[in-house]
Structure 1
Amino acid sequence: MAKSYSDRNTIDLFSKTRGRPKTRPLTRKDQLKTNKRNQRLKEKKLGIKRVEITLEAETLEMLDQLCELDSIKRADWIASQVALMHAKPKIKKRLSEAQEVKEEVLEEE
């Protein structure tokens, strides 16, 4: 029988000492991989999408200062700013126009 490091059921068969293992049977790398997968699944169930952005250090410092003023996370601050912009009349008009154009294109196809 072959030993697999990700196999949790048969790992005790190959240990030299009897009883419950003193440490986790998985390596730190495997633990991180499992936890990351679980985190992604949890976020998917909650409807959360990941976004990666690249910012200059100065911009990031300004963002952190703004977040500290309101005592909120970066993601929450960015989401609130998007909601504010989305609520402006000019933006609403542009979004509705863009939606109409999109619907026309879909109808033509």
Structure 2
Amino acid sequence: MAKEQNDRTTLDLFADEKRPGRPRTSPLSRAAQLKINKRNQLKRDKARGLRRIEIKVEQTVVDALNVLADQQGLSRSELIETILIEKLGCAPETHSA
């Protein structure tokens, strides 16, 4: 029986064949890796004393925040935090990591 190049049902025939692309470095699926990474990020944020808030604003506000953040060399999140701190008149607590 001849080996067909597009026949992938008999994997033992293709065990020594190099496949294109980057080799897998993790046995987990991409979705599982993302879930674990997100969980770890939340743990790091919690350890640093950070809390997540979510707001809905008009697109024009988002655009203005993006421009201002670029001008100041900050992320949008950092800019919003700075504005809130200035407006509320409270200093952020410093945590050593």
Q: What is the TM-score when the length of structure 1 is the normalising length?
A: 0.56
Higher relative contact order (CA 8 A, sep 6+): 2
Q: Distance in 1 between matches of 2:65 and 2:50?
A: 21
Match of 1:31 among 30, 33, 53: 33
Deviation at 1:86, TM superposition (A): 2.3
Q: Distance in 2 between matches of 1:39 and 1:83?
A: 24
Match of 2:83 among 81, 84, 95: 81
Deviation at 1:36, TM superposition (A): 0.7
Q: Distance in 1 between matches of 2:56 and 2:87?
A: 21
Partner-residue secondary structure (3-state), 2:51:
coil
Residue matched to 2:68 = 66
Question: 1:62-82, CA deviations, whole angstroms, 9 ceiling, x for partnerless residues?
Answer: 111111111111121112112
Q: Which runs of 5+ in 2 are unaligned?
A: 1-11, 16-22, 90-97
Provide the aligned C-alpha RMSD in A.
1.8
AA matched with 1:39: Q
Q: What is the aligned-residue identity percentage?
A: 31
Q: Relative to total residues, which structure has the larger helix share, 1 or 2?
A: 1
